[in-house]
Amino acid sequence: MYLESTFKPAWWLTNCHLQTIAAKWFRRKLQVSIIEEVLTTPDDDIIELAWTELPCSHTIKPIVVILHGLEGSIDSHYAKGMLNTVKKQGWIGVLVHFRGCGKQLNRKAISYHSGFTADIEFVAQRLHSLYLHHPKYSIGFSLGGNVLAQHLAMQQENAVFNAATIICAPLHLATCSDRINRGFSKIYQKYLVDMLKTSALQKIERGLVNHISQQDIQSIRTMREFDEQFTAPINQYVDANDYYQRASGLFNINKITIPTLIIHAKDDPFLAHEHIVSQKQLSKNIQFEVSTKGGHVGFIAGKLPFRPEFWLEHRTMSYLSGYL
């Protein structure tokens, strides 16, 4: 069901772009203590995990799996903030880096993308086998939220998580790709596309990708162009439209059977609001909270100027705690 969010932006930070940018600025010096782990995937690639602590059998603590956004990592402000919040709760947090987003380059031409669920399935099953009695939850930010939605929809009753939260996810990829190519949002697009191009060029230089030249990569300017020329071909999609259609979580969210909180802001400069909330009916397992303000992974509250309160973390932990 759709619900009006309780989030109220700080009176001194109501603009969507300020919410989006300030969230990163306020936490530019935030640190989180982690334990690193590198796993070899079933297809002989690597993924990197960042734990707040390693689970042990004689102390049963809940484990929260966190999926980052496009080109995100342990250095992303929202990842550090959520890991610290999970740790303060007395729980265990683990950030799953998508392939190539950690310290090491991945070995395969195939890239992570909005519909790539293989790695979260691998990690989830590993946690289930190693830490059977630990309650398990998952949080997905932005692209990671769409991946989580697809994973939960595919697993249905077999999902190992007790509950989940999906935050600012591009659940309708085609219109979100168009949205980020308009107005001031083009600034975010350039930032993300430039990082994607850097990763793509590394794969070309290592001989992993040969369907496109370095010159063609350098000429790409929009997210849709990148998905058309790079993401779709190396991930067995016909084209960008095929990728957007098959990878969009919106078309599958009603297949999710575990309790799931979806958080979305109407003014998110990355997302096409009218399409994100276009499902007329939602599964009883889904609580879809929509706020008027919040930006993209911002949601900064606070009554005193420059004394931010990070509402997302409090709301997420409050929700997940209800299913402990």
| Spatial separation of the C-alpha atoms in residues 81 and 94, rounded to whole Å | 12
* Nearest in space to 36 (alpha carbons), one of 47, 25, 50: 50
Radius of gyration of the chain (CA): 19
How many CA atoms, within 13 angstroms, populate the side-chain half-sphere of residue 150?
A: 27
Length of the chain counted residue by residue:
324
In the structure encoding, which two tokens stand for residue 279, read together?
A: 């499902």
**Is the CA virtual torsion 126, 127, 129, 130 positive or negative?**
positive
Catalytic residue annotation:
142, 268, 296
Residue type, 324: L
* CB contact set of 9 (below 8 Å; sequence gap of 6+): 19, 293, 294, 299, 300, 301
